[in-house]
Amino acid sequence: MKIIYKRQTTMKVAQFSRIGFIMAAAGSAVGLGNIWKFPYMTGEYGGGAFVLVYLITITFVGFSVMVAEMLVGALGRLDTVGSFEKLAPPNQKGWKYAGFMGFNGLIIMTFYSVVIGWIFYYLFEIFSGLPIQTDQAKAAFDALVGEKAGIQIFWHTVAVIIVGYIVHKGIKGGIEKFNLILMPTLLLILFGMLAYAMTLDGFSKAWDFMFASDWSKINSEAIVRAVGHSFFTLSLGMGAIMTYAASLPKNASITKTAFIVTFMDTLIALVAGLVIYSFLFHEGAPAAQGPGLVFISLPVVLSNFGTLGTVLALLFFLALAFAGLTSAISLVEPVVQYLIDRFGWTRHKAVIFSSLLYWLVGIGALLSYTKAWGALFSIGGKPLFDILEYTTDSILLPLGGLLIAIFVGYILQKERVYAALEHEMGEKYFNVWRFSIRYIAPIALVFMMLNLMGILNI
Ligand code: PHE
């Protein structure tokens, strides 16, 4: 059967501008993973050693896979399934199934948009005052998550609608435009907060906590989570970067762009961690707080700063909302592009269909944390929310990364890869990169998955 791709039949395909692409890819990478998850995971797994594993993985695995993923998109110029299919050699067209990694985005969105909903709720709650005591803040957060299903569904729905609206406007008029506004604003807010945090005496403690490696606290779970998180935070292994790269301007350098995005993403995670822990340690609060860190501890700590604290909280949650939204659109776009490319659907129809899907499962995810419905939406005692998060973050994204590494390292003709990248990297670095994508990345990923499955236990 001959498949006709809409993109190939329509002459004019929207392309990002160069800066638009960088902002969109960085917008995808910089998300809740950086500002919400990275800081609390660092706290849970003991600080410096976790940060170090994370930084090593980003440098030696994350960056290489980012280049590979951009390459598949930029050469394929189709949706994820189409790109794999088009680039695979004639007798290996089965690789197109790897393209279904694009659907992971919708799985992630089921809980991602619930968390964005919490952020929206907090943005409004801040106006009625910050909680003064931890007990009070914890009770408020627990009440939201454990009891207020209706309110959560409301804000989750708001998040779904906003994301759908932006995606439905397309690459140029929606995704690029919003990223060009939201990303610089986010940077401004975070670096402004960093400047302020540096004046606090908690800053040096935060610095030590994050950069002094205490290996006694690190265990195999921490390592697996750090590796998994480095994929999540860079948006790798599910085709988001690949999908954006299909609209990469022809003259843009893949290597340079991947480097800027990786660098920005890492920097912002570190800055977010430093800011949050400076505030926390300034007030003598402990580090290990779990997912409630920014929803419970941070507001309480900021309440001690008076009116300034309210402003800081507002700016922080605004930054969090922006980061979440720009990532969310990149989670939905792969499936939308697949439906458009493959079935000739209108963008409108594709957005409504995919939004409805994850909206519905997202309700199940949020209900799985409630007291009333928790049991119904849990499997083997584990809430659906956690199952969805763990499956994507620790299994599906690394698996996607592995497929990309194998495809680019072994399946795609070397000459093609060479022609696309050598002039950007130079012979020497090209060889280093190729070694990383053929050996280091697959070994690290397989090692991690074996660990996860309990087959290996380092
Ligand atoms: N990178 C995003 C974050 O850090 C999440 C994400 C994962 C976005 C995968 C797109 C694809 O929050």
The tens-digit pLDDT sequence of the chain (458 residues) is 445 555 554 434 678 888 889 989 999 999 999 999 999 898 888 788 899 989 999 998 999 999 999 999 999 999 999 999 999 999 989 999 999 999 999 999 999 999 999 999 999 999 888 888 878 888 889 999 899 999 999 999 999 999 999 999 888 888 888 888 888 888 988 898 899 889 988 999 999 989 987 787 777 788 888 888 888 999 999 999 999 999 998 888 999 999 999 999 999 999 999 999 998 888 777 776 777 888 888 888 888 888 888 998 999 899 899 999 999 999 999 999 999 989 999 999 999 999 999 999 999 999 999 998 888 888 888 999 999 988 888 788 889 999 999 999 999 999 999 999 998 999 999 999 999 999 999 998 988 888 776 655 55
Ligand 1 is surrounded, with C-beta below 6 A, by 28-29, 31-34, 108, 232-233, 235, 238, 240, 327, 330-331
Short-list 255, 198, 248, CA closest to 430:
255
Q: Whose alpha carbon is nearest atom 7 of ligand 1? A: 235
Which CATH architecture fits 2-452?
A: Orthogonal Bundle (1.10)
What are the structure tokens assigned to 139, written together? 């009770």
pLDDT at 10: 44
Q: Whose alpha carbon is nearest atom 11 of ligand 1? A: 235
Q: Whose alpha carbon is nearest atom 10 of ligand 1? A: 235
pLDDT at 76: 93
Asked if 190 and 275 touch (Cβ cutoff 8 Å), the reply is yes
Identity of residue 155 = W
What are the structure tokens assigned to 157, written together? 């729905």
Residues in a beta bridge with 383 = 378
C-alpha of residue 28 to centroid of ligand 1, in Å: 6
What is the pTM assigned to this prediction? Answer: 0.90
10 Å CB burial of residue 415 (0-12, 13-18, 19+) is exposed
Asked if 271 and 190 touch (Cβ cutoff 8 Å), the reply is yes
How much is the CA Rg of the chain, to the nearest whole Å? 21
C-alpha of residue 201 to centroid of ligand 1, in Å: 32
Atom of ligand 1 lying closest to residue 38 CA: 4
Phi-psi region of 218 (alpha: psi -120 to 50; beta: other; left: phi over 0): beta
C-alpha of residue 237 to centroid of ligand 1, in Å: 10
C-alpha of residue 36 to centroid of ligand 1, in Å: 12
Task: Please list the helix, strand and coil fractions of the chain in percent, rounded to the nearest 5, in that order.
Answer: 80, 0, 20
pLDDT at 325: 93
130-164 per-residue burial string, b: 16 or more CB within 10 A, e: under 16: bbeebeebbebbeebbeeebeebbebbbebbebbb
Question: DSSP letter at 246?
Answer: T
C-alpha of residue 328 to centroid of ligand 1, in Å: 7
Q: Whose alpha carbon is nearest atom 6 of ligand 1? A: 235
Reduced to 3 states (helix: H, G, I; strand: E, B; else coil), residue 130 is coil
| DSSP notation for 164-195 | HHHHHTHIIIIIIHHHHHHHHHHHHHHHHHHH
CA distance 212 to 205: 10
Domain regions of the chain by residue span: 2-452
C-alpha of residue 379 to centroid of ligand 1, in Å: 25
CA distance 156 to 81: 29
| DSSP notation for 207-224 | HHHHHS--GGG--HHHHH
Atom of ligand 1 lying closest to residue 327 CA: 8
CA distance 382 to 87: 40
Q: Are strands 382-383 and 378-379 parallel, antiparallel or unpaired?
A: antiparallel
Residue with tokens 């759908």: 164
Short-list 86, 89, 84, 79, CA closest to 68:
84
CA distance 194 to 449: 36
